[in-house]
Structure formats: structure tokens, C-alpha cells
Structure 1
Amino acid sequence: MYPPKHHQDYNTSTIKEVARTYPFATLVSAKDKTPFITHAPLIFHGDTLVAHIDIHNPHIALLKEDYPITAIFQGPQTYISPSIYTTKQLPTWNYIIAHAKGTVKEILDPVRVKKSILAMTEFLEAPDQKFILDFDDKRMDRLVPYIHCFEINVKEWEGKFKLSQDKVPADIENAKQELILNNQKNVKDFVNTIFELHF
């Protein structure tokens, strides 16, 4: 990512927390100058990231042993109006993004695939665990042959947190509140609009 130092985050624990909190990632691979992009949830298995995608997705041709891949996790983001600052500023955009760069390893054993699905479900159901997936669920047995499961051995984590860090403390706090409020409002308004258009 473009690296102004005051927007870079070098704390790996903080960067990984973006991936844990916003696990729906954008997966990017490239071959012969052609990008392949897939969106899928990724969860941690130890230090690796694990994902499942449909076997008919053409991206799986690049999700083979040791092939390079980048996973992008996008946290909250919003336009920041100069009107919220206590000092004179220009408009900007604040955001929290994490990149995980690594290589792919396929998971071919059906038992491991099922266990990874159980682990992902357990993670995504946390903390209340309202649904527990049964390892012996026959529906899952029918689904596994149509899933391409793989893990990413992450070689490098990179974080870019553009949060008005170069402003005075009062403006940093105002920008933080704007990031929180705008994301809550924007999600509600947008989802309501989409549902009105489709249902």
C-alpha cells in the first residue's frame, strides 16, 4: 500500500485484529497480467488463514501450492468533512485496512475440510454460539466435494489506518466519532435502500 508513515500501522497484533473483526476478505491473485478476485470469509487457524470457495470458481486455478496471494480486509471507512474539525482543514477520507500477503496451500483431506468448516462456523457464531454445526451432518458431507478449501501462509502483514493522526487531539477525536457514526448510519440507510429495490 502507499506508505505515508503516519498512516502505517506496524503492530501485527492490531493489524490481525482487523482481519478477525472484518473477516470477509477480498482475495487477489494474478496470472499473465490478469487479476483474479474473489470475496470470501477467512478465519485464523493458528497463524494461517483458512478459506472455502466454490470449486467452479475459476480463481481456484491459482489457489495451488505456494502460489502468491493477497487478502485485503477492509474495516470502517468514511468521508471526513472539514466541518467537524476545530481547525481549518481540507476534505479527506479515513479508513482502516489490513493486507495479508502470503502463499497458498490446498486442503484436500475431506475430514480436514469438514473440521475447518466447523471451526469457521464456531468463530462466526461467537460469542453466543446460537448454532452449532454437527460434524456428522449429512448435508455437509454432500457439500464438501463442491468446496475448494485452502490456507494462506502469511509472510507479511501490512496495515494502513488513516485516522486523522496528523491533526490536533480534538480533531482526532471528532474524526473518530465521525467514523463511528457514519458507518452506523450509512449501513442502515444503504441496506434499507437495497431491500426496497429488491423486495
Structure 2
Amino acid sequence: MRHTPSYLLTDPDEVRRLIRGNPWATIVSPASGLVASHYPFLLEEPAEGEDPGDGISLVSHVGRPDEEAHELGRHEVLVIIQGPHGYVSPGWYPPDQFIPTWNHVTAHLWGTPEILSDEENFAVLFRLVDHFEQRMPHPVSLQIDEERARGIARGTVGIRVRVRRFDARAKLSQDKGPAVIESVISALRAPGPYENPALAAEMVREHGEPNPQRSAPQDPSADRGED
């Protein structure tokens, strides 16, 4: 990603939060040419009371023959986590600011995948289903027919990616003044073509809740554009 120090996200806990909330990821491998696939990833959480430290570990699975297409286990891969993102209209800025931008929270994570055993793979698949089903009023589990589920699991390959390094960004209008930031948050929350409450929530985490009594900016020169 472009080197933008003011947007760097360096806290491993914040990267973990991003992964938990946005499990659908892209895997990119430098195999025979670039290869990309898309799968859900889960964060391996530390045991209760255990200090997670700076380490980040992910588990997932790929459908055969993606493990060969990516040459998994033979080299490092890039896992891209895309958090909330969206268009920011200059209509939410003072009149003389007319350059739009795109706010986002994104993490790039590198590591060499470990191929899981069949039993570990099934445990990951079991956990994936339970993780996403827990929000349903009547959760469905692989326990309904474990023998059949194990048969289907043989068409997949489980992987663990211990993240060796990451490069993350939270680009959330840090280059703008308070009044503009609050205008953007309010616009993202309002009904319309670019309504985006998830992105608004990320901006609130970064900047705090808007002050409803704050007036519009009178001195646009105080804000500098930086995409």
C-alpha cells in the first residue's frame, strides 16, 4: 500500500479487531503467475487469560485444487483483509474543496501457510460454521450429520497462516479539520446513495462522536487534501 504515515495502523489488537469483523479475505500467491482466491478466515484466539502478544494467527480452508494453484506451504502468501470502506463526496466539504476521496480500513498480512491435518481441517470447518451460525435464531451445526460433513470436508484443505508481518491502514479523513470530519460522519450515517454506517462507526472510533452544535468550517484553507 502507499506509504502514508498518518494512516498507519500498527496496533496488533486493532488488526485483530479488523479480522474478527471482516472475515471474508483475499489470498494472493506468487505461484505460476499471481493467483488470487477468496475465503473466510478466522482469528485464532489465545486461551482465556493468555497474553496474545503481537502474534496473529489465522485459519481457513481452500477448496481443492486451490492448494495446488497457490502452491500452499511452499512460499509466503498475502492475505488481504478489507474492512469498511466507501466514497467520500466533496459535497460534504466546504464549497472550495472539490476533490473526492475514498476512506477505508485495510490490512495486508504475510505468512507461509501450514497445511492442516484432516482432523484439524474438520475442526476449523466445524468452528467456521458455528461462528457464523451463532447469530441465527436456529443455528445449524455440522453435528446434524457429522459423517456426511466429514465426507464433504475431504474436498477442502485446511490452512493456518502465522502472520510474520502486516501493513495496515485506517484512512479516515485524518487530514481534515474537525468540522469537515463531523460533516462526513453525519453524511455517512444519513440515508442516501453513499450511506455507510460501518464506515461512519470507524470514523467515530478514530475521531469521536460529532458535536451537533459545531458550525460548518469558515476557513477551508485550514484543511489540506491528502488522498
Per the shorter chain, which TM-score range? 0.7 to 0.9
Which deviates further from its counterpart, 154-163 or 126-135?
A: 126-135
Which residue does the alignment assign to 2:181?
A: 172
- Considering fraction of residues, name the structure with more helix: 1
Correspondences of 1:1-199 after superposition (within 5 Å): 1-31=1-31, 34-46=33-45, 47-57=56-66, 59-65=68-74, 67-86=75-94, 88-89=96-97, 90-107=99-116, 109-127=117-135, 130-134=139-143, 137-179=146-188, 182=194, 184=196
CA distance in 1, matches of 2:83, 2:70: 29
Write the deviation string for residues 21-52 of structure 1: whole angstroms up to 9, x where unpaired.
110001011035x1010000000123411111
AA matched with 2:185: K
AA matched with 1:130: P
Preserved CA contact (<8 Å) 1:87 1:171: no
AA matched with 1:26: T
Alpha-carbon offset, residue 157 of structure 1: 2.3
CA distance in 1, matches of 2:78, 2:21: 18
AA matched with 2:119: V
Determine helix, strand or coil for the equivalent of 1:137. Answer: helix
Gaps of 5+ in 1: 186-199
- Considering fraction of residues, name the structure with more strand: 1
- Max Rg structure: 2
Alpha-carbon offset, residue 126 of structure 1: 3.5
Alpha-carbon offset, residue 117 of structure 1: 0.9
Preserved CA contact (<8 Å) 1:76 1:96: yes
Name the TM-score, length of structure 1 as normaliser: 0.81
Higher relative contact order, structure no. (Cα contacts within 8 Å, ≥ 6 residues apart): 1
Q: CA RMSD of the aligned region, Å?
A: 2.3
Preserved CA contact (<8 Å) 1:15 1:158: no
Preserved CA contact (<8 Å) 1:82 1:88: no
CA distance in 2, matches of 1:77, 1:120: 25
Aligned CA distance change for structure 1 residues 133 and 56 (closer, same or farther; 3 Å)? same
Alpha-carbon offset, residue 59 of structure 1: 5.0
Preserved CA contact (<8 Å) 2:35 2:70: no
Report how many residues are paired.
182
CA distance in 2, matches of 1:183, 1:147: 38
Which residue does the alignment assign to 1:190?
A: none
CA distance in 2, matches of 1:37, 1:183: 30
Preserved CA contact (<8 Å) 2:115 2:160: yes
CA distance in 2, matches of 1:99, 1:77: 15
CA distance in 2, matches of 1:177, 1:123: 32
Name the TM-score, length of structure 2 as normaliser: 0.72
Identity of aligned residues (%): 25
Determine helix, strand or coil for the equivalent of 2:16. Answer: helix
